[in-house]
Chains A and B, each alone.
Chain A
Amino acid sequence: GAGVSQSPSNKVTEKGKDVELRCDPISGHTALYWYRQSLGQGLEFLIYFQGNSAPDKSGLPSDRFSAERTGGSVSTLTIQRTQQEDSAVYLCASSVTRDQVGYTFGSGTRLTVV
């Protein structure tokens, strides 16, 4: 597609459930990033993928968070045993390469844990 696509756009889940968030980057963009934005706050970096390389997971807030990127394209962010503090907008972005020329962001997934 022409832009970065994220799904679902909104997700309400019960505390303790697992959720999967999906990101489909722009075709040909080798770099993919996940960020989290809590209400009224800046963006918190979570994880970065460069092509098929193994990512650095040190930005993930806890071991309940995991992410994968299949075939160097679509990425899935999984949150296990969700907690209320996980409620936020999860934003995915892609760029042509790691050498920054500006990210293209998706519209995000608004996650609400009740």
Chain B
Amino acid sequence: DAKTTQPPSMDCAEGRAANLPCNHSTISGNEYVYWYRQIHSQGPQYIIHGLKNNETNEMASLIITEDRKSSTLILPHATLRDTAVYYCIVRGGSGNTPLVFGKGTRLSVIA
């Protein structure tokens, strides 16, 4: 079973920041938080991951709370192309540990 809880759906106005929350209250010390998204009819796309520090890349920012029990993915200026299902995944183990996807959050960016 997935170790994360996400809202099933969210809306965001185009050009605004999209803030997607994720609860992972049972996360253990060596587990990373990963975010993927899946646009309709495509494979999941890796966005970002982190352990305990906040992370930023060209796609998004990841804010992890100090107790690591929750995190927020931020898309700073959402566009219509960001409409997708966003998955928050907690993953430990080794490099070949498979991902366990939950139901994710369906983000709709509205013009």
- A and B associate: no
